[in-house]
């Protein structure tokens, strides 16, 4: 069974940092691109960052470019999101998602990890 | 970025009803559209790809149609387990973008 399990969320002050992790299992991790998608009450679903199957192509939403860094460790079947200079508007549930086709078909999704940015 | 607009934002219907949700793109996206189903407290689930192709295991009462800028998700006979929020998503242009969601409730 394909499974994605996120961790690392929490409460952080504006300007602070967090590192999210996603442990993947049930599929050949280095065959697939991966992304982070977030969900907040005010902005719905928002794609945040993506990394290709070999790590050669990395892309970001304009809203996080320069502050967030996506990476992967294929030896550990893991995806990461380093989030720096966090803002109140980054508050959301962050999902790790597999890109099934390298065309942004998001399937499946993890259960999400909650990030709250508040003073 | 391509804007995806869903209507209605919420919908109340009875079991057995035919339900239609629409999604409009701000520019032509060919048929590069996916639909997701998010049940309360759960992560979104991949439902339909390329506007009209059902993912394996999705009940045949679900169908998708459309091309260009206008798309439709139809449930032919609403069941209680279909209560969820439905999202469309375009993947024609970078970045991939989602509609704001349509919350489906049982009347």
Query: What pLDDT score does A41 carry?
Result: 79
> Would residue B92 be called left, alpha or beta, if left means φ above 0 and alpha means ψ between -120 and 50 degrees?
alpha
pLDDT surpassing 90 at residue A43? no
Q: CA B42, A47, B49: angle at the middle one, nearest 5?
A: 70
Contact B45 A45 (CB under 8 A): no
* CA distances from residue B95 to A22, A24, A46, A72, B42 in whole angstroms, order as listed: 22, 24, 10, 20, 24
Once rounded to an integer, what is the mean pLDDT over residues A52-74? Answer: 97
Distance CA(A20)–CA(B69), nearest Å, equals: 36
- Those residues whose C-beta lies under 8 Å from the C-beta of residue A86, and which sit 6 or more positions away, are A12, A13, A14, A15, A16, A17, A18, A67, A115, A117
Closest approach of A20 to chain B, Cα-based (Å): 17
Which residue in the set B43, B94, B95 is minimally distant from A110, CB to CB? B43
Distance CA(A88)–CA(B97), nearest Å, equals: 21
Distance CA(B85)–CA(B103), nearest Å, equals: 4
Residue of B nearest to A102 (CA): B91
A27 CB near a chain B CB, below 8 Å?
Answer: no
Distance CA(B63)–CA(B51), nearest Å, equals: 9
Summarised one tens digit per residue, pLDDT across range A86-103 is 999 999 999 999 999 888
Once rounded to an integer, what is the mean pLDDT over residues A65-86? Answer: 98
Q: In this complex, how many residue pairs, one in chain A and one in chain B, have their CB atoms less than 8 Å apart? A: 48
Query: What pLDDT score does B92 carry?
Result: 96
CB atoms within 10 A of CB B93: 15
Taking the CA atoms of B39, A109, B52 and A43 in sequence, report the sign of the dihedral they define. Answer: positive
CB B72 within 8 A of CB B48: no
Taking the CA atoms of A59, A85, A77 and A111 in sequence, report the sign of the dihedral they define. Answer: negative
Q: How confident is the model at residue A63 (pLDDT cuts 50, 70, 90)?
A: very high
Residue of A nearest to B33 (CA): A105
% chain B with pLDDT above 70: 100
Query: What pLDDT score does A11 carry?
Result: 98
Q: How confident is the model at residue B82 (pLDDT cuts 50, 70, 90)?
A: very high
Provide the mean pLDDT of chain A.
96
Query: What pLDDT score does B71 carry?
Result: 98
Once rounded to an integer, what is the mean pLDDT over residues B45-54? Answer: 97
Summarised one tens digit per residue, pLDDT across range A10-20 is 999 999 999 99
Summarised one tens digit per residue, pLDDT across range B60-76 is 999 999 999 999 999 99
Which residue in the set B32, B46, B100 is minimally distant from A106, CB to CB? B46
Provide the mean pLDDT of chain B.
97
CA atoms in the 13 A half-sphere facing the CB of B29: 30
Residue of B nearest to A40 (CA): B100
Residue of B nearest to A109 (CA): B43
pLDDT surpassing 80 at residue A42? no
pLDDT surpassing 90 at residue A56? yes
Which of A45, A62, A94 best tests the B interface by mutation, with the highest count of B CBs <10 A? A45
**What DSSP state is assigned to residue B81?**
G
* CA distances from residue A56 to A25, A50, A52, A73 in whole angstroms, order as listed: 22, 11, 6, 13
């Amino acid at each position: 069974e394909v499974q994605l399990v996120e961790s690392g969320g929490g409460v952080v002050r504006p300007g602070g940092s967090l590192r999210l992790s996603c442990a993947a299992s049930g599929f050949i991790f280095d065959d697939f691109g991966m992304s982070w998608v977030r969900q907040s009450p005010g902005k719905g679903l928002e794609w945040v960052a993506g990394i290709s199957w070999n790590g050669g192509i990395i892309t970001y939403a304009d809203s996080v470019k320069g502050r967030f860094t996506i990476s992967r460790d294929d030896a550990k079947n893991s995806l990461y999101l380093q989030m720096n200079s966090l803002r109140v508007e980054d508050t959301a549930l962050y999902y790790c998602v597999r890109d099934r086709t390298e065309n942004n078909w998001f399937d499946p999704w993890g259960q999400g990890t909650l990030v709250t940015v508040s003073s | 970025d391509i804007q995806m607009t869903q209507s209605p934002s919420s919908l109340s219907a009875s079991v057995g009803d035919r339900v239609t949700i629409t999604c409009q793109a701000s520019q032509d996206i060919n048929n590069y559209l996916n639909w997701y189903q998010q049940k309360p407290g759960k992560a979104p689930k991949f439902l339909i790809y390329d506007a009209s192709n059902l993912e394996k295991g999705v009940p045949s009462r679900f169908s998708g149609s459309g091309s260009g800028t206008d798309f439709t998700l139809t449930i032919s006979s609403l069941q209680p387990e279909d209560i969820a929020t439905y999202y469309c998503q375009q993947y024609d242009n970078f970045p991939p973008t989602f509609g704001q969601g349509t919350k489906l409730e049982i009347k």
